[in-house]
Amino acid sequence: MRRPEPRSPAYAAGPPTLADVADLAGVSRQTVSNALNNPDLLRADTLERVQAAVAELGYTPNRAARNLRTRSSQLIGMRFVPGQEGTANAAMDRFVHSLVETSREAGYHVLLFAGHGTDALAGYDDLLRSTAVDAFVVTDTFLGNPQTTWLEDRGAPFVAFGRPWDQPEASHPWVDVDGAAGVAAATEHLLGHGHSRVAWIGWRKDSRIGEDRRSGWTRAMHAAGLSTSGLASRTEDTVASGRDAAAVLLDEAGATAFACASDTLAMGVLHTLAERGLVPGRDVAVIGFDDSQVAQVVPGGLTSVRQPLEQVAVEIVAALSGLLAHPPTSTPNVLLAPTLAVRASG
């Protein structure tokens, strides 16, 4: 057996993980899982090597990881972060409602828990050690987020709402919405209404989701033979940031239409138009993303890209059911197409 690589300082003081056993035995994590749960599948020498590593490290599988195969609690855990004040971001509320309803129909219930930063890992750890849940739904899959790797190391089943942006080789199941396709459709809609100066207001460059959405705008503009030079702004996801970005793009780029990474940013654009006496849809077109309740109730309505969150929930529960089946079964990863909810703004 080879010595395992040094563990991350954040977890060095914690108990050994399934990944530590795999490193020490020189095998895959799946092989360790088989040694613990289906030893008949392994050759005698491989099984002996894994068992020796388990003994040397003092590794004890989480009781929850064992109970997952018996579906003992019928609970699915999900970390829930409240929407930021001053934004129109309520998409997660709609997703949670859909997940709760769909899970109930499949015989599960959703257990929400709070957490920010490293506290999020503590929440996962508490639930695993108390055997409170059968599996998890992970919604934060952005660059550098530790949840998915942490859960994989501990052999805990989970399905991600979101692609593994920084781990394309990841093997866990995921469901996501094609944001690039949604923004491309929104941009093509604006181009079809005669706009050639379609500006983009999006998030900072370190947002993989934001950059994915921006790529849809770029693709549609280039396909139409139009330049994107000087027509894009990267900013924070706040109404004030959207308002400021819109003012600059109107003055310096002569924008006649806006495609935005969120309804929050689009609301900022509407503020700027109101301040200048411009009418959305007539003078300047505006399209947001997420089809929030705000988009549906502002005067005239805000055209917005609508994510199929109800179908996302259906696909996630199907993947969870496969993970918790006897024996477990895998489902293909799913990338769903959004639609465009057209209203007076664009």
Per-residue pLDDT, 14: 61
Tell me the mean pLDDT in the region 53-59: 88
**In the chain, where are the structural domains located?**
18-61, 66-176+310-336, 179-306
For domain 66-176+310-336, the CATH architecture is: 3-Layer(aba) Sandwich (3.40)
Q: Is the pLDDT of residue 346 over 80?
A: yes
Query: Domain 179-306 falls in which CATH fold?
Result: Rossmann fold (3.40.50)
What's phi and psi for 81, nearest 5 deg?
Answer: -110, 125
Closest CA to 283 of 295, 298, 300: 300
- Identify which has the larger pLDDT, 180 or 1: 180
Amino acid at 245: A
Tell me the mean pLDDT in the region 190-209: 96
Per-residue pLDDT, 9: 39
Answer for the pair 256, 250: CB distance below 8 angstroms, yes or no. no
Check for a shared fold between 18-61 and 179-306. no
Tell me the mean pLDDT in the region 336-341: 98
Per-residue pLDDT, 326: 81
And the tokens for 210?
Answer: 């934001």
| pLDDT tens-digit readout, 82-131 | 666 555 566 788 899 999 999 999 999 999 988 655 566 888 888 887 77
CA 145 to chain CA centroid, nearest Å: 11
Answer for the pair 284, 195: CB distance below 8 angstroms, yes or no. no
Q: Is the pLDDT of residue 137 over 50?
A: yes
- The mean pLDDT value of the chain amounts to 87
Tell me the mean pLDDT in the region 135-153: 81
Cα 135 to Cα 84, 103, 131, 320: the distances in Å are: 27, 12, 10, 7
Of the pLDDT bands very low, low, confident and very high (cuts 50, 70, 90), residue 60 is confident
Helix, strand, coil abundance in the chain, percent, nearest 5: 45, 15, 40
Tell me the mean pLDDT in the region 216-243: 97
Per-residue pLDDT, 328: 84
What CA–CA distance (Å, rounded) separates 132 from 126? 8
And the tokens for 121?
Answer: 């890992």
Tell me the mean pLDDT in the region 227-240: 96
And the tokens for 132?
Answer: 């409170």
Share of the chain above pLDDT 70, in %: 87
Of the pLDDT bands very low, low, confident and very high (cuts 50, 70, 90), residue 250 is very high
Amino acid at 182: G
CATH of 18-61, one of 2.60.60, 1.10.260, 3.30.460, 3.40.50: 1.10.260
- Identify which has the larger pLDDT, 87 or 301: 301
